[in-house]
Amino acid sequence: MAIKDFKEDGLMMKKELIKRLFENETPYVVKDGDKYDVYANNLHFTCCYSDEEVEKMADLCLELLEELRRINEAGYTRADLMKAKENAKEEKGSIVEYFAVYESFKNEKIEAITDELAKTARVGGTFYSVIARPVFVSGILSVFGVVIDNFSDENLYFSALFMLIRVAMHMHGEEISD
Cα 134–51–122 angle (5° rounding)? 35
Express each pLDDT in 102-142 by its tens digit: 999 999 999 999 999 999 999 999 888 888 899 899 999 99
Contact (Cβ atoms closer than 8 angstroms) between residue 127 and residue 96: no
Compute CA 24 distance to the chain's CA centroid, rounded to the nearest angstrom: 20
Kindly list the domain boundaries of the chain, sorted by start residue: 6-175
Query: Could you give the CA distance from residue 66 to residue 70 in angstroms, rounded to a whole number?
Result: 6
pLDDT at residue number 156: 93
Report field, pTM of the whole predicted structure over 0.75: yes
For residues 46 and 78, give the distance between their C-alpha atoms in angstroms, rounded to a whole number.
33
Chain center to CA of 95: 17
Give every CB contact of residue 49 below 8 A, 6+ residues apart in sequence.
34, 36, 57, 121, 169, 172
Specify the pLDDT at position 1.
38
